[in-house]
A and B are shown apart, each in its own frame.
Chain A
Amino acid sequence: MDSSIHIQLSKYGQNLGSRMLGKQVLGDINEQIGAYSKIILDFEGVRFMSLSFATELIDALQNHFKEGDIIFTATNSFVKSQINFVLKTNKQVIAV
């Protein structure tokens, strides 16, 4: 049976604006995910998110969860555009 963990991101603020915050959120999530097979990232109450935050969080979660098992809910158009961009480009990072 699939089990999912629900993360309410607004507890970190209405603007998720830095990479270091992304690391902090990721650290919090890592402590909880255990054997969950899906994660729900709930953006209710979040107005803004930076690309740095989104990249930090989503890239790492994609290493842990299968495609389609990261579920984004209650995203406004701005947040949605950032998420779509990160998902679209995550394979285009230039290795140096």
Chain B
Amino acid sequence: MNITVKLNEKTDIFSIISDISDMWSHDANTITVLFDCVCDQIIEGEIFVIISSIINELRQIDKPIIVEFKVNKHCLSMEYAKRIGFFKNLKTDFTFMIQNDYAERQYIEITHLAPSIYNLNDAFLDIFDTHFDLNPESLNSLVFVFDELICNTTRHCQSKNGGYYFCQKNADRNSVEIIIVDSGIGIHKSLNQAFPHYNELTCLEECIKFGVTCGDGRGHGLFFISELLKRNKGEFIAISGSTHLSIKNGEQKTGNNAYWQGTIIKCVFTHNNALPIEQLLEEQNYSR
């Protein structure tokens, strides 16, 4: 099975899922996937997290995969991919180097999240503290979102391979983006244990409501994350299976997409906003 995936400035989460979705169901002896990087602009880091997740998940179940890259001489994305740990996660050596200054982009590189993780070490706090230049309220809210996303994944995804996360501040957009990707059972199967009558889309809509849980946990994490982002004019995208839910500018939308085994959550956290997480937690009217 040979797949060619074109990566360019138009590549987004949904297009990359569509391009690689067939890899989940293939029965060929070997998959050869060629990433054809044809642009002279930076490809978003989230694309590389998704690629890392599917390739390593398939490797985990002993599917032979050959990964190749075709890069033009003006390509800036491969050095960026290297800097954020993409090739390290693929265990692929890639020596193509172009010198560029990305000093304005602060990030936590693509990081494997083992299923049995006990605690995030304090290193990422130092990165947030030292390089992200956030006010104290925004820092608290960012750590809250980050912690809850990681707790959710380690708690519910049931993936042999765990997950991957990546976090980046975009100073020019006044935002911090977090993406966490797993190749586990997905939100539908997870919630279905407690709500067998819910379909895939209903599960996505329910999982961000207060107190909705598969029975393991209280069901508060995704509620507060989505609510915080909604009220602070951020962005929230959850993709699981063949459906997705997005919240942008306070508006919630749902739709279908190419199949993704597991769950992808993307959060765009607009910092230095008015509502800190403490205030959200202190509101009195939470009930279900």
Contact = CB atoms under 8 A, between A and B. Distances in A.
B155 A19 contact: yes
A96 B215 contact: yes
A13 B121 contact: yes
Contacts of B63: none
Contact of B278 (A53, A78, A89, A93): A78
Interface in B100-138: 116-122, 125
A14 B121 CA distance: 9
Contact of B120 (A15, A77, A84, A93): A15
A77 B276 CA distance: 11
A81 B282 contact: yes
B65 interface: no
Interface in A45-96: 47-48, 50-53, 55, 77-78, 81-82, 84-85, 89, 92-94, 96
Contact of B281 (A15, A85, A92): A85
A18 B125 contact: no
A81 B281 contact: yes
A92 B211 contact: yes
Most chain-B CB neighbours within 10 Å: which of A12, A20, A47, A48?
A48
Interface in B192-219: 194-195, 211-215, 217-219
B282 A15 contact: no
A81 B277 contact: yes
Count class of interface residues, chain B: 35 or more
B212 A51 contact: no
A38 B286 CA distance: 29
B147 A84 contact: no
A94 B122 contact: no
Interface string B41-52: 000000000000
Contact of A85 (B117, B119, B147, B282): B282
Which secondary structure dominates where chain B touches chain A?
loop
Contacts of B211: 92-94
Contact of B118 (A21, A77, A92): A21
A48 B147 contact: yes
Interface in A30-47: 47
B122 A12 contact: no
Count class of interface residues, chain A: 20 to 34
A50 B154 CA distance: 14
A81 B283 CA distance: 10
B166 interface: no
Contacts of A15: 119-120, 122, 125, 143, 147
A16 B116 CA distance: 16
A52 B151 contact: yes
A18 B286 contact: no
Given A50-B144, A52-B155, A52-B221, 15 more contacts: A14-B125, A17-B147, A19-B154, A19-B217, A24-B118, A51-B151, A51-B224, A52-B147, A78-B277, A84-B282, A85-B281, A85-B282, A94-B219, A96-B194, A96-B213
23 contacts: A15-B143, A15-B147, A17-B119, A17-B147, A18-B117, A18-B120, A18-B154, A20-B116, A20-B117, A47-B125, A50-B144, A50-B147, A50-B151, A51-B151, A52-B155, A55-B218, A55-B220, A78-B277, A78-B278, A89-B218, A93-B211, A93-B218, A96-B214
Interface of A: 12-21, 24, 47-48, 50-53, 55, 77-78, 81-82, 84-85, 89, 92-94, 96
